[in-house]
C-alpha cells in the first residue's frame, strides 16, 4: 500500500502546527464547492434540522458547530491550508458568505435518491442530485445578482474553484443490515456512475478541478463493529471486519475506474481520485505509529469496552436503560482516538487525511496542492 514518507510528514506537521494561520494564501483556487455527507458537512443538516448538542465541537470550536466531530473536518482543514475561510453551508440562512465557495453536504446524505423519509430511515433528503441542483441555483443567482453587493461568488470563481465530492458511505452502510454485503454490491455501480455523471454535469457548468474521495474502511469503525453481523473469525488482527473492508475496496476500485473513464470526456479538467481509505486504514492498523492510543474505540460513546459504542445511546444523548439514566459522554483526550463517535473521525485523524490530500501522493493522478497554492498553516 502506498504511503507518504516520514520526511514529508514532518514537513506537513510543521505546516499544520505553525501558529500563523491568519495569512491569506496565494492560491489558484479562489473558492471550494463541496458535495457530500456528514464527513464534510459543516452545518447544513443542523441548519435544516436544528438540534445538535455538545460535546460535538469541543476540541476546536468549543461548542457544537454543525460538524460530526470534536473539531474540524478535512474540508475545514483543506480550506485553511488554501487560505480560504470555512465553507458556509448552503442551507444556513444566518451569517453565510459564499464569496469563497459553498458547502452543499449534509449529514446522512446519499448519492442515490432516497426512497424513504428522513423520519423513517434517518437518510437525508439532500442526496447528491439535490446538492447538484442547489449548486446550479447558486451559480445562476450569483451570475444574475453579481452587482448587488451580496456575499456571492464572482462569476470567474466558478471556473477556477476546486470542486470536492466526499459522499457514498451512507449508500454503502444504510442497507447492510437488511440485504448484506452481497446485496449492497449489486447497486454500487449505480452509485459510482452517479458520481461520475455529477462530475460531467459540473464540468458542463464550467468546473475544471475536481477531487473525489473514496470510501473509508467502515469495517474498522466502532459503530459498525457493534452493529453489523459478522463472525469472530472475520475480524483481523487489527480489530477490523475483513469482509466489509473488502467490499469497500471493491467499491473504491469501481469509483477509480469510473473516474478514469470520465476523464476522457472532460478535456482540460483535473479529475483526481483521493485514497482516503489508505490513510485511515493505516491509522487503524498502526495507531501508535501515528501517535494514537486507541483505534477501534470511540471517544464519545457509552458502554466502555473495546468499542465504547452503544447504538441505543449516541454521542451526547441520554437514555433510560434498565431504570437508570445514562449519557454517552466524550473522553478527555480525543487527540488520542481515531474515532470520535464510532462513525466519524476525530479532528486528529482528519489532520492525517488532510496531510495526505495536500501531499497528493495518495491521489490518482498525483495532485500536490503546493504546485497550485502557497499552502498556509492551519493550526
Give the active site residues: 38, 341, 344
Task: Let me know: does 91 contact 48? Beta carbons within 8 Å.
Answer: yes
The residue whose grid cell reads 431504570 is: 323
Orientation angle between helical segments 242-262 and 276-285, nearest 10 degrees: 160
The residue whose grid cell reads 473558492 is: 31
Task: Let me know: does 375 contact 15? Beta carbons within 8 Å.
Answer: yes
Phi then psi for residue 66, to 5 deg, are: 80, 10
13 vs 16: CA distance, rounded Å: 5
- Kindly calculate the radius of gyration of the chain based on its CA atoms and give it in whole angstroms: 20
Orientation angle between helical segments 128-144 and 176-204, nearest 10 degrees: 20
For residue 256, which of 213, 299, 302, 285 has the smallest C-alpha distance? 213
DSSP string, 205-271: TT--EEEEE----GGG-HHHHHHS---GGGB-TTS-BHHHHHHHHHHHHHHHHHHHHHGGGSTT-EE
143 vs 30: CA distance, rounded Å: 16
- Per DSSP, what are the bridge partners of residue 339? 298, 345
Which residues does 321 contact at the CB level (< 8 Å), separation at least 6?
312, 313
Alpha helices in the chain (DSSP H): 6-17, 44-48, 74-81, 118-121, 128-144, 157-160, 169-173, 176-204, 222-227, 242-262, 276-285, 347-359
CA-to-CA separations, 274 to 10, 13, 39, 353, in angstroms, rounded: 21, 20, 14, 10
DSSP string, 96-140: ---TTEEE---TT--SSPPSS-HHHH---S--HHHHHHHHHHHHH
- Residue 345 is placed in which grid cell? 473521525
Amino acid at each position: 500500500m502506498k504511503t507518504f514518507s516520514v520526511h514529508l510528514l514532518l514537513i506537513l506537521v510543521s505546516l499544520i502546527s505553525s501558529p500563523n494561520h491568519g495569512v491569506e494564501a496565494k492560491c489558484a483556487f479562489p473558492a471550494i464547492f463541496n458535495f457530500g455527507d456528514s464527513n464534510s458537512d459543516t452545518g447544513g443538516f443542523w441548519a435544516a434540522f436544528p438540534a445538535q448538542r455538545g460535546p460535538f465541537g469541543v476540541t476546536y470550536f468549543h461548542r457544537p458547530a454543525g460538524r460530526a466531530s470534536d473539531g474540524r473536518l478535512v474540508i475545514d482543514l483543506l480550506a485553511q491550508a488554501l487560505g480560504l475561510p470555512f465553507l458556509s453551508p448552503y442551507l444556513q440562512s444566518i451569517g453565510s458568505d459564499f464569496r469563497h465557495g459553498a458547502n452543499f453536504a449534509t449529514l446522512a446524505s446519499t448519492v442515490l435518491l432516497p426512497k424513504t423519509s428522513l423520519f423513517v430511515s434517518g437518510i437525508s433528503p439532500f442526496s447528491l442530485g439535490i446538492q447538484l441542483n442547489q449548486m446550479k441555483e447558486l451559480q445562476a443567482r450569483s451570475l444574475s445578482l453579481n452587482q448587488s453587493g451580496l456575499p456571492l461568488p464572482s462569476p470567474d470563481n466558478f471556473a477556477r474553484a476546486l470542486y470536492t465530492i466526499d459522499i457514498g458511505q451512507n449508500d454503502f452502510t444504510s442497507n447492510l443490515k437488511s440485504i448484506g454485503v452481497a446485496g449492497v454490491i449489486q447497486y454500487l455501480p449505480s452509485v459510482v456512475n452517479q458520481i461520475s455523471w455529477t462530475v460531467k454535469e459540473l464540468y458542463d457548468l464550467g468546473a475544471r478541478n475536481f477531487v473525489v474521495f473514496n470510501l473509508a474502511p467502515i469495517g474498522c469503525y466502532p459503530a459498525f463493529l457493534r452493529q453489523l453481523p459478522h463472525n469472530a473469525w472475520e475480524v483481523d488482527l487489527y480489530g477490523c471486519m475483513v469482509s466489509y473492508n473488502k467490499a469497500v475496496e471493491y467499491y473504491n476500485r469501481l469509483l477509480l475506474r469510473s473516474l478514469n473513464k470520465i476523464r476522457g470526456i472532460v478535456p482540460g479538467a483535473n479529475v483526481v481520485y483521493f485514497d482516503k481509505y489508505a490513510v485511515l486504514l493505516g491509522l487503524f492498523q498502526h495507531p501508535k505509529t501515528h501517535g494514537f492510543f486507541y483505534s477501534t474505540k470511540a471517544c464519545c460513546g457509552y458502554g466502555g469496552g473495546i468499542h465504547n459504542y452503544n447504538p441505543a445511546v449516541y454521542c451526547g444523548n441520554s437514555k433510560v436503560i434498565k431504570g437508570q439514566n445514562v449519557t454517552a459522554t466524550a473522553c478527555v483526550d480525543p487527540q488520542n482516538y481515531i474515532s470520535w463517535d464510532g462513525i466519524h473521525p476525530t479532528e486528529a485523524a482528519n489532520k492525517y487525511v488532510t496531510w495526505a490530500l495536500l501531499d497528493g501522493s495518495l491521489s490518482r493522478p498525483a495532485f500536490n496542492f503546493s504546485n497550485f497554492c502557497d499552502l498556509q498553516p492551519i493550526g
